[in-house]
Amino acid sequence: MTDFAFREYKEFDAGAVVDVLRGRVLGVVFRGMIPAGECARITERFWNSPARRTRGVDAPGHYVGSYHYHKTTRDYLDEASAAQPELDDILGTPHDPLTAIRSGLAEALAAEGILFRSARHDGREAGTALLRSWHGMGQFALAPHEDEAQCGEPRQADFEIQRVKGRPVGAMNLCLENGTAGRLVVWNTRPDDTVRERLGLVHTGSPYPVEHLDGIESLHLNIAPGDVYFFNGAYVHAVEPETSPTSRRTTLSGILGFIDERTVVSWT
C-alpha cells in the first residue's frame, strides 16, 4: 500500500528515492538541494543554447534533450544520443546535480544488489535527462496526465522500459526556475487500461478530463528553484500555471523504474 504523501527532506537521500521506486510512498522532495548559483548557471546556458528547441503550439515549451513519447525505440534512442552532448555541455558534467543524483542512486541500489543504468536497445542508450521549460497559462500549465500509459506504446514494444508498466514509474524533477505559483498537483488515482480505454487515453495517458478527477483526493506541492523531487508518475498529476506571463518554470527531468528485481533503468 502506497503512502499517498510527499516526504520532505533537507538533503538528498537516495534511499528515499528507492522507497518511491518500490511503491512505499508516493513521493519525496529534497528542499533546496541545488544551490541558487548552480540553478542560474544551468538555466542561463539553457536559454542561450543553440541546441534549444521548441515544442507545441497550444502549450509552448522549450527543451534540450529527447523524449520517448510517441516515437519508435530507434528514433528515440538516435535522438537521445544526438542530444546527449548538448545536454552534458549545458549541465557542465560531471560536476552537476544530475550526475550527483545518478551516482548516489547507483550506489544506494548497488548496496541492495541492484543495477542502475540508462535504458538501452541495440547498443544505443536512453538520455539521462530532458531540460525543459513551459509557459502554459490555461487551467494547468501541464494538463492532468500519467506517465505509465506511454510505457505501452506499440512502436516501443521492443524497448525494455515497457517492463516498468505495472510497477511504480519514478518521475524525477530538478526545479531550476519557478515563479511563485506552478504547484504540482497529484490525484490519488492510478488508472489502469480499462479506465484508459474508456477515456481514449490508452497509449497517451493524457489529458484526463477534470470531471474524471472530481471528488478524488489530491495533494498540492509547492516547488521552489533548487528543489528536487521524485514521485510515482503512474498517479494522475498536473502542473498549475504561473500567475505571471513572465514567470518561467524550467526543470531537468527523467523517468526511472524497476524492470525486474535486480535492475532499475532510466529514460526521458
Angle at 142 between CA 63 and CA 45, to 5 degrees: 25
Taking the least distance from each CB to Fe ion, the nearer of 76 and 114 is: 76
- Rg of the chain over Cα atoms, rounded to whole angstroms, equals 17
Taking the least distance from each CB to Fe ion, the nearer of 96 and 147 is: 147
| Site stretch for Fe ion (CB under 5 A), options 17-25, 112-120, 127-135, 139-147 | 139-147
| Site stretch for Fe ion (CB under 5 A), options 19-27, 74-82, 103-111, 146-154 | 146-154
CB of 64 to Fe ion, least distance (A): 18
138 vs 240: CA distance, rounded Å = 9
Percentages of the chain per state (helix, strand, coil), in multiples of 5: 30, 30, 40
234 vs 2: CA distance, rounded Å = 12
Q: Which residue has the cell 544526438?
A: 82
Burial of 30 (0-12, 13-18, 19+ CB in 10 A): buried
| Site stretch for Fe ion (CB under 5 A), options 36-44, 78-86, 143-151, 212-220 | 143-151
Taking the least distance from each CB to Fe ion, the nearer of 70 and 262 is: 70
For residues 229-248, which are near Fe ion according to CB under 5 A? 233
Taking the least distance from each CB to Fe ion, the nearer of 130 and 265 is: 130
Taking the least distance from each CB to Fe ion, the nearer of 225 and 233 is: 233
For residues 176-215, which are near Fe ion according to CB under 5 A? none
**Which residue in 150, 178, 179, 172 sits closest to 228, CA to CA?**
172
| Site stretch for Fe ion (CB under 5 A), options 144-152, 186-194, 217-225, 239-247 | 144-152
Q: How many residues bind Fe ion (CB under 5 A)?
A: 2
245 upstream amide cis, omega within 30 of 0: no
DSSP 180: S
Under the binding rule (CB under 5 A), the answer on residue 153 touching Fe ion is: no
**Which residue in 33, 27, 23, 21 sits closest to 7, CA to CA?**
27
CB of 232 to Fe ion, least distance (A): 10
Taking the least distance from each CB to Fe ion, the nearer of 25 and 238 is: 238
**Within 13 Å of residue 15, how many CA atoms lie on the same side as its CB?**
2
**Grid cell for residue 49:** 543554447
DSSP 214: T
Taking the least distance from each CB to Fe ion, the nearer of 147 and 153 is: 147
CB of 75 to Fe ion, least distance (A): 21
CB 232 within 8 A of CB 169: yes
CB of 187 to Fe ion, least distance (A): 12
| Site stretch for Fe ion (CB under 5 A), options 6-14, 17-25, 87-95, 225-233 | 225-233
Under the binding rule (CB under 5 A), the answer on residue 147 touching Fe ion is: yes
Residues lying near Fe ion in the complex (CB under 5 A) are found at 147, 233
